[in-house]
Amino acid sequence: MEITVLCILSVLYLLAFFPSSVGKLKFYGKEWVAGNRSLKEGQRPFSEFDHWGARSERAYQNLQTNYPPFAVAVILITFLNLSNDWTMTLCWVYLIVRILHFISYAYGVVAPRALFWGIGWLINIGLLIYVALNV
């Protein structure tokens, strides 16, 4: 069921901040992480550093951008009773490519990351168009 995929993705969404938080802890220290996160004079922003923590932060931001349209599509498919084998398959594929996108982004593997993002984007668009055409 599509709603199951949405629930799994929602849990991942809630936990996806953790890798970048670990990177920030290592980079800035516990005082910064536990504080109000103001940069001290001369301290460079975390996003300027090219390591897995900063890339994980960007991967999380990308997930934050792409999660809402998927959630809307799944909720509409569920409540409008538009579910079928294709929508279920596309939702599972979406979950898989979003996980693979996050991992490839965090580890700096560019080519598959772009492919995974593109597949996810097309699925999002496809599901929303499907809902729009069947309302």
Q: Indicate the burial class of 6 (C-beta count within 10 angstroms; 0-12, 13-18, 19 or more).
A: buried
What residues does each domain of the chain span? 2-17+51-133
Show the tokens assigned to 80. 């409008």
Per-residue pLDDT tens over the stretch 115-127: 999 999 999 999 9
- pLDDT for 13 equals 93
Please write the tens of the pLDDT for every residue from 21-57.
888 788 777 877 777 767 777 666 665 565 778 888 8
Residues 6+ apart with CB under 8 A from 19: 52, 53, 56, 59, 60, 106
Helix, strand, coil percentages, rounded to 5, for the chain: 80, 0, 20
pLDDT of residue 47: 59
Q: What is the CATH number of domain 2-17+51-133?
A: 1.20.120.550
Q: pTM value? A: 0.87
* pLDDT at res. 108: 87
